[in-house]
Amino acid sequence: MVLALAALAILFVALALLRPVDHDESQYVAATLLTAHGFIPYRDFAYLQTPLQPYLFAPLALLAGAWTWPVLRIANALLGLATIAAVHRAPRIGGAGPRAATIAAALFATCDILLFSIGTARNDALPAACLALALPAILRTAREQASRRDALRIGALLAAAAAAKISYALPALAYGLWTLFRANRRPWWTLLGALPFAAITGALFLQAPEAFLFGVLGFPGQAPTEWYQAHPWKLSSAAKLIDTLKFLALGPALLAIVATTGRRHRWHLILDLLILAGLIAALAPVPTWRQYLLPMLPALFVRLTLVWHAHPPGKAMRIAAVVFACAGLAPTVEAVANGGIPMRDALRTATAVRETLDRAHVTGPVATLSPQFLPGTAIDPRFAPGPFYFRSTALLDARQERQLHLVSHARDRSSRRSARDPDRRRRRVEQRRRPDRRVARRLCHPPRIPSATGTRHPLHAVRRTPCFAATSPA
């Protein structure tokens, strides 16, 4: 078993380094770097998730320095390994044999939902690991074998999951409500275990409540509607259903749902509640993406193990499991089969950026939509979310953006024009008085920097213009 886990760890780390760069990674790498250098989420920069991950990963950023991005990917790969190990361990406590547990854990490891989530520097792997690590103690509680230590552990892990990603709050809430129906489930000890992470989240909320609410609830609820307004079908229920089925079918997750339907012991109820809560959390945002479905998978594959232990799968089910497992591996194989080592190329680009900034004697913050390429001290906190808020047009007004440390595309264009043309406001008034007079507009184009390969690379723009005050020459 140890050798199998070691081999799987090597494989996951290799896949993490070979997987192409994902634009979602920018905000998570930037948030970790800024937190490592003393910035506080929400108060000093916008963070569009619950706040635990930047704090837990900040020590890694301090140790890794320029290697922070690949180190965060490796950390997520190892968290994926912990998730699979917990999914293997939990059903053994529920009475399943080693064969069924190993098969179900192996099938779980082939799900594209999991492989994508643990292969990038996003915030999916940490909460999934916390939820999965709570499952062994949850099964002991369901079998009325729980101790106070189990209750404390469950409370801490589920609260940590919710503090790392808001969608895990629903499974945590479902478990909390379930404990209230029986005193021997130790609800108050569970609550006590959750208090430290709830206190951390609450303290950050109190420091900047408006920024916290916008980052955790407001932006995820409003931004997709604005972004996809030109493609309304993507926000429809039909698109959600198709996407959900597609993502579940890329791996044995859909098969596991079919195999476990209608077969359960009475103490399996908590697993069903966790699966349902995870599914609701995945379907709540629009549109639905594959990583959103991860909260339901650990409990689902623990449930599958217990069912297959009691009712071993037939030949047709075993063949279907292999087919779905291959389907789950296909997107990862395709992603890494394009050649090259994306993380190596990203580090070379980051080195070229740092050298360019050093040659220009830049000492101030740099405004860029790719903050993951910058050292932590060079990141402009207003651009910590990468491209995600910047592409918005009407979510916040100018005053709110200044208060929440954000810059949108609309405000950026306005500020650049004003900086390049201080008399623009006066001439606009005159233009209203004389409609036949046209005012020429000048655009502020960002300078290009050389990439590691010698080609011209915009990097979503490293700007050194007065409208941004992005850098300050020494």
Neighbouring-strand partners of residue 366: 379
450 pairs with which residues across the strands? 456
Are 65 and 59 in contact by the 8 Å Cβ rule? The answer is no
Closest CA to 464 of 346, 372, 363: 363
Residue the block writes with tokens 């968290």: 79
What pLDDT, on the 0 to 100 scale, is given for residue 39?
Answer: 96
What pLDDT is recorded for position 184? 86
Residues in the chain predicted with pLDDT less than 50, given as ranges, are 429-474
Measured between alpha carbons, how far is 201 from 221 in angstroms, rounded to an integer? 20
Strands (E), 231-279: none
pTM for the predicted model, two decimal places: 0.87
Residues paired with residue 41 on neighbouring β-strands, in sequence order: 45
**What local confidence, expressed as pLDDT, does residue 447 receive?**
38
Cα–Cα dist 404/45, whole Å: 7
- Please report the pLDDT score of residue 471 as a whole number: 41
Q: How many whole angstroms separate alpha carbon 201 and alpha carbon 320?
A: 43
Are 193 and 186 a contacting pair, CB within 8 Å? Answer: no
Please report where in the chains the tokens 């399996």 appear, as a residue.
268
Taking the CA atoms of 401, 405, 411 and 414 in sequence, report the sign of the dihedral they define: positive
What does the DSSP 8-state code read for residue 384?
Answer: T
The pLDDT, as a whole number, for residue 468 is: 30
* Residue 254: predicted pLDDT: 97
> What length is written for the chain?
474
Residue-level pLDDT at 232: 87
β-pairing, 456-457 with 449-450?
antiparallel
Q: For residues 281 and 264, give the distance between their C-alpha atoms in angstroms, rounded to a whole number.
A: 23
Position 428 scores a pLDDT of 52
- The confidence score (pLDDT) of residue 377 equals 84
Residue 417 confidence (pLDDT)? 55
For position 294, what pLDDT does the model report? 97
Looking at residue 202, what is its pLDDT?
A: 97
Q: Structure tokens of 215?
A: 């980052």
Using omega within 30 degrees of 0 as the cis cutoff, is the peptide bond preceding 187 cis?
no
